A = this chain, B = another copy of it.
């Protein structure tokens, strides 16, 4: 039954003297491939090693090493006194076409078999944050003013000596010391004390939303979502199979009464009460109370995205919804993306006590937390007072930039757009005169070397008047006027008007 290889073995191999890979590695890799492809069949006896070495141009010693490696991998086997064989245990026939498909013939194939979530995500975009960093990029903090030297000092202080505590798996909910510092910060600056055990640290804000959605809603369950609103967040909920229930936004924020009438059976409400993005509206107190009452009465949950609450220019930030939530219905979500910088990728949740156990476990299972050293450095940064003083400085800086933006914007954009700087956040709106052209204006702005988002990109269901979202926090005050005139010029061109110059 033993099949002796007829003729030389070399025809099955393609050794190449011009590649960098050593010859023995080429021989080893190609012998393996010849077996996998069925050129050398299971049970086939190889020629004697002396002959084989000669044929392949290897020393006998090197050949033995190659054969030993392939034996260890299970491709070859030695039979006492009889020589070396292709393992008899391998399939007789190669399973399938022989050539490995190239990485570029994907388009020719049938679409891969995915889950419902996989299918949905194919149709979504997660492109936020991929935008080029140019003037007026929305949601961009003043990165050059971040005290990176202090941040590095904190990181170096907590990693000195590589303490084992920073190297282990750490707490599934995040390091206690960071949770303590966050709780202290919230108590002092958001007037909202909580127990550090109610906090779960997540790898960024989106991970916090994912955790909440998975724990609280099944596919098909409804979630109220402000329309317009951040589409990557609505895409996340839609991808997880939730039924998106767009809720209109007026001057008082989310229209809670209308949402109650249209979607009374929703399980979740996602809301940005401190500062709606992108409209910049604060949810009014009666609406907050109505929302809390709806959640209580219908056994629903509120995810409070405390968006941009740190940056308010006309007095103290408004209290969070969580702080007036007497029925433990609010899951409070925060992140350090804008207060520090987006690349830090740290978010957190403050949970009602009855959800703490579930969220801790689920977070530990699905993603654990962020690098322990980043957590400890952040705890040091907050504990040393650097976080609070950075925020204080940025509030001053952004107020100044906002003022400069408004003043110059009114001049530059007169007749083209109405500037709308809410009293908080990092962004403004420019409501375009004369119709729904924000996509064209957006393209023109990009062509002019600037950045913005068209409001229509934030539309969930109800079309909005045309507007551009502009970030002013990253632009120095003294550059505001010329850049805004460049912006105005681009908008004018996009609307078929004559470009204007000035500044």
Task: List the interface of chain A (C-beta within 8 A of B).
Answer: 29, 32, 36, 68-69, 72-75, 87, 89-91, 95-101, 103-104, 106, 109, 111-118, 121-122, 124-130, 133, 143-144, 146, 148-149, 151-152, 155-156, 159, 161-162, 164, 166-172, 191, 195, 198, 202-204, 206-207, 210, 214-218, 221, 232, 235-236, 239-240, 267, 284-286, 288-290, 292-293, 296, 299-301, 314-316, 318-319, 324, 326-328, 337, 341-346, 352-355, 357-358, 360-374
Assess the A203–B207 pair: CB atoms within 8 A.
yes
Which residues of the partner chain B approach A156 to less than 8 Å between Cβ atoms? 152, 156
Assess the B113–A218 pair: CB atoms within 8 A.
no
Beyond A29-B191, A87-B286, A143-B164, 8 additional contacts (C-beta under 8 Å) are A73-B319, A87-B285, A96-B327, A126-B361, A129-B368, A146-B167, A206-B364, A343-B372
Assess the B293–A95 pair: CB atoms within 8 A.
yes
Which residues of the partner chain B approach A362 to less than 8 Å between Cβ atoms? 117-118, 121, 126, 239
Which residues of the partner chain B approach A328 to less than 8 Å between Cβ atoms? 101
Nearest CB of chain B from residue A290's CB, rounded to whole Å: 8
Across the interface, name the chain B residue whose C-beta is closest to A239.
Answer: B365
Assess the A96–B326 pair: CB atoms within 8 A.
yes
Nearest CB of chain B from residue A319's CB, rounded to whole Å: 6
Copies of this protein in the complex: 2
Nearest CB of chain B from residue A403's CB, rounded to whole Å: 20
With A and B bound together, what is the CA distance between A210 and B149 in angstroms?
36
With A and B bound together, what is the CA distance between A301 and B113 in angstroms?
9
Question: Which of B115, B130, B152 meets A217, CB within 8 Å?
Answer: B115
Which residues of the partner chain B approach A372 to less than 8 Å between Cβ atoms? 343-345
Assess the B367–A90 pair: CB atoms within 8 A.
no
Which residues of the partner chain B approach A202 to less than 8 Å between Cβ atoms? 367
Assess the A361–B121 pair: CB atoms within 8 A.
yes
Assess the A129–B168 pair: CB atoms within 8 A.
yes
Which residues of the partner chain B approach A87 to less than 8 Å between Cβ atoms? 285-286
With A and B bound together, what is the CA distance between A364 and B112 in angstroms?
20
Across the interface, name the chain B residue whose C-beta is closest to A238.
Answer: B365
